[in-house]
Structure 1
Amino acid sequence: MATSTSRWWALGALVLSVLVIGMDATILNVALPTLAADLHATTRDLQWIVDAYMVPFAALMLPAGAFGDRFGRRRLLLAGLAAFAVASVVATAAGGTGQLIAARALMGAGGALIMPLSTSILPVIFPPAERGRAIAAWTAAVALGLPLGPIVGGYLLDHFRWGSIFLINIPVVVVAALVTAVFVPESRDPSASRLDSPGALLSVAGLAALVFGIIEAPSKGWGDPAVLAGLGAGVVLLTAFALVEARGPAAMVDLRLFRSRVFVWGAVGATFVSLGMAGVLFVVPQHLQAVLGYDALGTGIRVIPMVAGLMAGGLAGERLTARLGLRALMTAGLVILAAGFLLGATTGPASGYGLTAAWLAVAGAGTGLAMVPAMDGVLATLPEERTGSGSATLQTVRQVGATMGVAVLGSLLSAVYVARLPEGVPAPAGDSVTAAVEVAARTGNADLLRAAREAFVGAMDQVLLVCGVASVLAAVLVVVFLTRATGTAAVPAVQTAQSGHDHTAAPRPHSPLP
């Protein structure tokens, strides 16, 4: 077993790896107006600068986990960090939208390696007694990166060229790669058979088509032919993928995972949490900027109560899991998360930041309390030799759920916002509350400003209400289907890595999966 000191250094590398992904998820948002002006980017260009990251990120995670099991998880993690660094350099120097979109796609591919492999390494280097604490730190790093994005991005854009928002990734990634190379032990599946090429191709094509359809739906409409084609192709290809995996001798995804209630309902709970938090991070920055009047830097700072709540909830979850069991903690976390959403749904046009800070802190606490035990329980079901593919399956489900959440909740937000605007407002005001604020500021139209803000707050309340109901539904599902025996006894925990620097996981006498 690796020494205690080296394990925590390794965790530091994994935390930095996902911190930069969390930052990159939000740092670009504050730069979109600058990119539109400096690169003469159209709205369509801006959309694909954002979406070019999301499609490969979601589509490549499954094969990334399987390749990590076969070729070495540390090796593939280092490859992901290298791809992310190269893409950041290219993005920093981009002279046009095409080059920037290509760099963002490579960045997404790097992130697809980093996210599942960083998760899969945790149960390899940490014994069960310490794994919950490590997962709490990992989860907090992802969450901390999200508000750090606008804070860091706002500062950089105030003082430097827009390329600096990508340049900031490079030192973080370099440090993470160096610490990974020194302290993270290599691990792989020694019994891995030949590569599942048909499964890899079908999963990548199916997830890419599905995510493309989800991303395009809010702007084009759910009935648009391109959206329907993407969604239909995604369903067909992923169905074919499931059939191939069920029959193939070298399956990329171990379908026995789905016989474990802990894996299935832990993944369901984590996905509901991800969906809800994606909704929060979609509406709250717009509320803080367009309604309450804060700038990008001030917005990032004011999202910190959510991160503080998440860290507190994660630490509590890590300490209480052994005593109360997975089912009780996940249910409690989802109920607290729902309470945060429902408190947020009471926001009115005259509500100040105090209410926002309160419900963000409650929602963050619920997220930490539900997510840490859920991920700990899921990782405990994985045989050590398949932690890469198992973690990739979990992260893919979470990512697709979050993407679907943003698309559906974004469509709901837009529909309610437009429906609540008075007749006769300028056409651009119907595009978004940000556009309405800009029009009102340019024309001095105080009535438009008030109407747009009231319409947005009403729409945000509807989104948070839906998130609250979804969290309650998830809590009920966990109570019903994750039996107490399953939630507390679960399955045998994964073994820790052996001592030395180039560890290869020994085959287990028998799989913990039924």
Structure 2
Amino acid sequence: MSGALEESAARPAVRPLVAWSVLAVASVGVLLSGAELMVVAIALPSIVVSFGGWTDLARVSWIINAYLLAFVVAMPLAGRAADMWGARRLYVVALLLFSLGSLASGLSPLGGAEAGLSWLIGARVVQGFGGGALVPLSMSLAAHLFEGRARAAALGVEGAATFIGMAVGPAYGAWVLLNVSIPVPGVAVAGWQWIFLLNVPIAIIVLLAIYVVAGAVETPRHQGRTDLLGAVLLSLGLLSGVGALSEAGRLGWTDPLVLGGLALAVLATSAFLLYERVARTPLIEIGLFRIRRFSAANAVSLLTGYTLATAIIGGPVFVNRVLNGGAAESALVLSALTLAVAGGAIVGGLLSALLGERPVTLVGVAVTAVALWLALGWGTESGLDRLGRDLSLFGAGFGLTISPRATAAVAAAGATAYGVASALLQVFRTIGMSVGLALLTSIGQSRIDELSALINDPGRRDSLVAGLHHPEFVGVDPKTSLALVDLLERWSRGQAADVLRQVMTIALGVALCTLIPALFLGGRESQAPESQAPASQTPAARSAAPPPR
């Protein structure tokens, strides 16, 4: 009973209209950060031209990697900070960081070709840190402002915002590149710069709206000191681990840089877990993982993150490499996927409020498994309509799982850890996506190298064309025969389809495994499991506990 009273007292007293208004405004910032995950990929070729071309591919890749890594590191730090200092004021700080990073990114060509690229990468770190913080801060706001069935719906809306941003990002980026050209006297401004610069006025409008609708709203603050050592260890573990996984596909799993990064990640994470067990005010309460419902929610997030990476990368790659589609066709199937995720997230929030987290999650995971099974039938003759249908089905299933796993996690964690619980879900999903992307890239690159060696070896190429029942091409150089080039291209498209079906098969296995933790998510959120959280997790109990030896 006391736990329920504590939970009620911890929730800000706001009218439903105000709460939904705050949520709507906060969702715009999350949508911006989600769009930024995708929009730069469209503008990258134009950006590279401004900085001297593709001569330094390793540095160019950090235009995207810098944002992603900062995004990941910011989430757990912002989650804990929200529990200590309030989510609304920190949301404002995060949006300011995102705006400053966007402004600096847009102005980076002023530094010249060499220094400007370094400037852009540094600005992307600031932008990513702000964007990554917005996600758990908005989820924490939703968890505090709503309860019961309304909370599940609110978390579904917040979960949808990121994927709506990801869906509109490519189209928005292409539109800005083609249509926005605002003359600035004395300064040459490339089209891609406006992709960053336009974020600034949008963010300012969101900041003003936050002060109008939420000026007097703040989530509870819970006493505690900043766990600097824990923050450093966790950040080091995430940076080295996700960074190594990002490079594994390109460099190979046995590359010293990749192995060193993974080893450092294991060491830093192990040190973090050991330290958090004795810290007076830990960054993350490790005891939360002893709560079955909380651990199950994070396991679902990890495994569905893996399958999401397979679909979100594998689909466009299939369009490009197997169907010979261009950027427009790839963007079409990607938008179908991400819009379905957004729709599924909203529906999942409503359904989990009515039926409970477990059945909705099980249905969602089962739908993703069916979609991946359908994807095993993709071939060189498949049309965009089939890919769009299967990826939309996958997206809808994935979206159904967003709200129930978030609802289960924050309910299990209790009011003093809403921010951390929300952040950990995002971190585990990102780790799952990184593993999925690394494996997809690794398998694909290995097969590409193998096919290239085969085609460029005259003896092996002759054996291949003879096996394809075209002996007339034995001894023929592809440079002198367009018909042979066409034959090899059709064969390589089939091989690419086989590789992607192999990747989809692995993802199907992962989706089926996800059904196991989904069984432990529990029933209705209205059962208020937060009131049953162990007393050791409350601030009072922690302050009364003896200091660690």
Ranges in structure 2 where 5+ consecutive residues have no aligned partner: 1-12, 110-115, 181-190, 458-477, 532-537, 543-549
Aligned pairs (5 A) from 1:371-450: 371-420=402-451, 423-425=454-456, 445-447=485-487, 449-450=489-490
**Worse-matched range after superposition: 11-20 or 180-189:** 180-189
Matched residue, 1:61: 75
Aligned pairs (5 A) from 1:5-404: 5-40=17-52, 41=54, 42-95=56-109, 96-160=116-180, 161-184=191-214, 186-404=217-435
Name the CA distance, whole Å, in 1 between partners of 2:453 and 2:366.
36
Seen in structure 2, the aligned counterparts of structure 1 residues 347 and 324 have a Cα distance that, compared at 3 Å, is same
Q: Helix, strand or coil for the counterpart of 1:28?
A: helix
Name the CA distance, whole Å, in 2 between partners of 1:157 and 1:403.
29
Per-residue Cα deviation, 1:313-345 (whole angstroms, up to 9, x for no partner): 334433332554322221221111011112112
User: Deviation of residue 366 (structure 1)?
Assistant: 0.8
Amino acid of the residue matched to residue 199 of structure 2? N
Q: Helix, strand or coil for the counterpart of 1:223?
A: coil
Name the CA distance, whole Å, in 2 between partners of 1:310 and 1:127.
24
**Worse-matched range after superposition: 318-327 or 87-96:** 318-327
Name the CA distance, whole Å, in 2 between partners of 1:169 and 1:401.
29
Identical-residue share of aligned pairs (%): 26
Seen in structure 2, the aligned counterparts of structure 1 residues 311 and 29 have a Cα distance that, compared at 3 Å, is closer
User: Deviation of residue 172 (structure 1)?
Assistant: 3.0
User: Deviation of residue 147 (structure 1)?
Assistant: 2.5
Name the CA distance, whole Å, in 2 between partners of 1:490 and 1:256.
23
Q: Which has the larger radius of gyration?
A: 2
Seen in structure 2, the aligned counterparts of structure 1 residues 419 and 260 have a Cα distance that, compared at 3 Å, is same
Name the CA distance, whole Å, in 2 between partners of 1:470 and 1:88.
37
Amino acid of the residue matched to residue 387 of structure 1? Y
Seen in structure 2, the aligned counterparts of structure 1 residues 509 and 200 have a Cα distance that, compared at 3 Å, is closer
| Count of aligned positions | 482
Amino acid of the residue matched to residue 244 of structure 1? Y
Amino acid of the residue matched to residue 214 of structure 1? L
Asked whether the equivalents of residues 421 and 455 of structure 1 are also in contact (C-alpha less than 8 Å), the reply is: no
User: Deviation of residue 178 (structure 1)?
Assistant: 2.2
Name the CA distance, whole Å, in 1 between partners of 2:255 and 2:415.
44
Amino acid of the residue matched to residue 490 of structure 2? R
Aligned pairs (5 A) from 1:482-501: 482=520, 486-488=522-524, 492=528
Seen in structure 2, the aligned counterparts of structure 1 residues 191 and 36 have a Cα distance that, compared at 3 Å, is closer
Asked whether the equivalents of residues 325 and 488 of structure 1 are also in contact (C-alpha less than 8 Å), the reply is: yes
Q: Helix, strand or coil for the counterpart of 1:2?
A: coil
Seen in structure 2, the aligned counterparts of structure 1 residues 292 and 374 have a Cα distance that, compared at 3 Å, is same
User: Deviation of residue 449 (structure 1)?
Assistant: 4.0
TM-score, normalising length: structure 2? 0.81
Q: Helix, strand or coil for the counterpart of 2:422?
A: helix
Asked whether the equivalents of residues 353 and 525 of structure 2 are also in contact (C-alpha less than 8 Å), the reply is: no
Amino acid of the residue matched to residue 65 of structure 1? G
Asked whether the equivalents of residues 205 and 234 of structure 1 are also in contact (C-alpha less than 8 Å), the reply is: yes
TM-score, normalising length: structure 1? 0.87
Matched residue, 1:504: none
Q: Helix, strand or coil for the counterpart of 1:163?
A: helix
Q: Helix, strand or coil for the counterpart of 2:23?
A: helix
Amino acid of the residue matched to residue 392 of structure 2? A
Amino acid of the residue matched to residue 152 of structure 2? G
